[in-house]
Amino acid sequence: MIIDGHNDLVLHRWRGEPSPHLDLDAAGDADFAGGFFALYVPSPRLPDPPPEIPYALPLPDPIPHAEAARIAEELFAALLELPVARATSADDFREGAVTAIVHMEGAEPIAEDLSNLERWYERGLRSIGLVWSRPNAFAQGVPFRFPSSPDIGAGLTTAGRRLVEACNSLGILVDVSHLNAQGFWDVAALSSAPLVATHSNAHALCPASRNLTDLQLDAIRASGGVVGVNFAVTFLREDGSLVPETSIGEIVRHVDYLVEQMGIDHVAFGSDFDGAVVPEELGGVAGLPKLVAALHASGYDHEDVAKITHRNWLRVLRDTW
Ligand code: ZN
């Protein structure tokens, strides 16, 4: 069974576009059991990262709450049309079925006074990324830069701190992927739940602003949290380049490093399917068995692979929800 930290299938359904990676008809054969399905209110299309390294893309403008709330309703309606169950308990994940964790990537649809948070919880929201990279009422994200430290900009706002506390008390997972370093450390100091980065990689191997430093990995391990390894080639490769002909071995390289830094209990998948360019060799959900085979070939035993593919996610969900 494979549980995954991030996909953008809902965005494609909302736009009426085909899904590049997440063919739900292929899920059964690939042992894909779902995971975090993002409700992401898009900024106007960004230019692809320029092929030249280094790059430093400007941050998109903030999206006003009212507009984000309206679009989030449409995104949620698109999610409800998918042939998937929704998870409110770790026990909801089952072999042979696709189950979705309703995840908000960027908290703009939540009112700054949190007045609509409980309504979203009642509708099944169980995970919030405080920011997608653009700033909002709660926090600041990392601009897309390579090479770059994630230490760019200020930490959580007062509303951001209240949102973390409210998520802790309701049992909503707080995702630190896309958050800048100061925001990460604010969440680490404040949150009573395991620290989770749903789709981020090791900065030591690929110095993109979106990746996690060794100090951040230490904090995630100490909290009992997990990092979902992102399959985006630009966050995997040492040179940060947008090269589709990147080997699956680059994913294994990050798994190896994260396991070495944090231990086998803190590493999982966070594919970014339908949200990024992933290794051509993997292709999409149908290629997941190739990745599992690569982990076995690299020396991970059955127990290790079970932790990486689903048990670590399930533990963190139980501890958080
Ligand atoms: Zn993302």
- DSSP per-residue letters across 33-53: EEEEEEE--PPSPPPPPPSSS
- Ligand 1 centre distance from Cα of residue 209 (Å): 13
Helices (H), the chain: 9-15, 27-30, 65-80, 117-122, 158-170, 181-190, 214-222, 233-236, 249-262, 288-297, 302-306, 312-320
- Ligand 1 centre distance from Cα of residue 271 (Å): 10
- Ligand 1 centre distance from Cα of residue 103 (Å): 11
- Angle formed by the axes of helices 181-190 and 214-222, to 10°? 20
- Ligand 1 centre distance from Cα of residue 197 (Å): 10
- Ligand 1 centre distance from Cα of residue 177 (Å): 7
- Ligand 1 centre distance from Cα of residue 293 (Å): 26
- Ligand 1 centre distance from Cα of residue 236 (Å): 14
- Ligand 1 centre distance from Cα of residue 39 (Å): 10
- Ligand 1 centre distance from Cα of residue 115 (Å): 25
Question: Domain residues of the chain, as ranges?
Answer: 2-320
- Ligand 1 centre distance from Cα of residue 166 (Å): 22
- Angle formed by the axes of helices 249-262 and 214-222, to 10°? 60
The confidence score (pLDDT) of residue 106 equals 98
- Ligand 1 centre distance from Cα of residue 223 (Å): 22
How far apart are the two ends of the chain, measured CA to CA in Å? 21
Long-range contact pairs involving 222-225 (C-beta distance under 8 Å, separation at least 24): 223/188, 223/191, 223/193, 223/194, 223/195, 224/194, 224/266, 224/316, 224/319, 225/194, 225/195, 225/196, 225/197, 225/266, 225/316
- Ligand 1 centre distance from Cα of residue 63 (Å): 16
The confidence score (pLDDT) of residue 52 equals 85
Domain 2-320 is found in CATH 3.40.228.10: no
pTM (predicted TM-score): 0.98
- Ligand 1 centre distance from Cα of residue 178 (Å): 7
- Ligand 1 centre distance from Cα of residue 275 (Å): 7
- Ligand 1 centre distance from Cα of residue 75 (Å): 16
- Ligand 1 centre distance from Cα of residue 272 (Å): 7
- Ligand 1 centre distance from Cα of residue 199 (Å): 7
* Ranges of residues in the chain whose predicted pLDDT is under 70: 46-51
- Ligand 1 centre distance from Cα of residue 8 (Å): 8
- Ligand 1 centre distance from Cα of residue 273 (Å): 10
- Ligand 1 centre distance from Cα of residue 59 (Å): 14
- Ligand 1 centre distance from Cα of residue 129 (Å): 9
